Structure 1
């Protein structure tokens, strides 16, 4: 992969669009926030679709699925380490790399370690299978 090709576990600053915003007709994320690439897949047109999870300092509401980011992982991803942070796993954006206007900076701020990235992917896959994954398509 090339240096500007996102990989699972990398953290970028991204205009994440929450599902409730998309349902109201909004097409732009209201603010740039750290977000984690969960997985990149190739669609039938040969384009690369990134599935992106938001990172927040706001404690997840009851009923939400999130992983708290350990301090070591926050350092690896070049995130704040003086506040608790979570990766929200039950809500993702799907964005096509080749046409993305929301992934402005193609260089990641940092990256999670392999074990933490695997935990994120495993939980997202579980949610998808159980029908508990909300997706906002940015395509």
Structure 2
């Protein structure tokens, strides 16, 4: 993520087959924001949220595994031009009731968060 990118690495050290993608319409090509999902609980100062069991089932994730969405570091890329996105269909989706408040929190903190731009 950000630590690796700041050291000039262009590929993640860890394959993350599961991430939350948010697509934003842009004139030069739609932008997608990717928030990683981790199996490790982050420090309380981090902006990360544990995924409830019902949401894991909706998203097609293992409901017995503890998972966190990391929201204070994210990647951005251009839809259709990405070398990092596999052309696989989504596994599932989180409900709007769960994810929209997280997205609002992300927007409120946007200027203080770490973005790794994958489309430069």
Structure 1 regions of 5+ residues with no counterpart? 1-17
Of the candidates 38, 57, 60, which is equivalent to residue 42 of structure 2?
60
Distance 1:117 1:48 in 2: 20
Secondary structure of the 1:53 match is strand
Name the count of aligned residue pairs: 118
TM-score, structure 2 length as denominator?
Answer: 0.91
**TM superposition outliers: structure 1 runs of 4+ over 3 Å:** none
Secondary structure of the 1:72 match is helix
Task: Indicate yes or no: 2:86 matched with 1:104.
Answer: yes
Instruction: Provide the aligned C-alpha RMSD in A.
Output: 1.3
- The residue number in structure 1 matching 2:64 is 82
- The residue number in structure 2 matching 1:49 is 31
Write out per-residue CA displacement over residues 78-124 of structure 1, whole angstroms, 9 at most, x where no aligned residue: 11221211101111100111211111133001110111120221111
TM-score, structure 1 length as denominator?
Answer: 0.79
Alignment of 1:3-82 (within 5 A): 18-33=1-16, 34-37=18-21, 39-45=22-28, 47-82=29-64
Please report how far the alpha carbon of residue 43 of structure 1 lies from its aligned counterpart in structure 2 after TM superposition.
Answer: 3.1
Distance 1:121 1:81 in 2: 22
- The residue number in structure 2 matching 1:132 is 112
Distance 2:102 2:90 in 1: 18
Please report how far the alpha carbon of residue 127 of structure 1 lies from its aligned counterpart in structure 2 after TM superposition.
Answer: 1.1
Structure 2 regions of 5+ residues with no counterpart? none
Distance 1:87 1:63 in 2: 14
Write out per-residue CA displacement over residues 6-63 of structure 1, whole angstroms, 9 at most, x where no aligned residue: xxxxxxxxxxxx00010010101223221001x3223342x01101101001001232
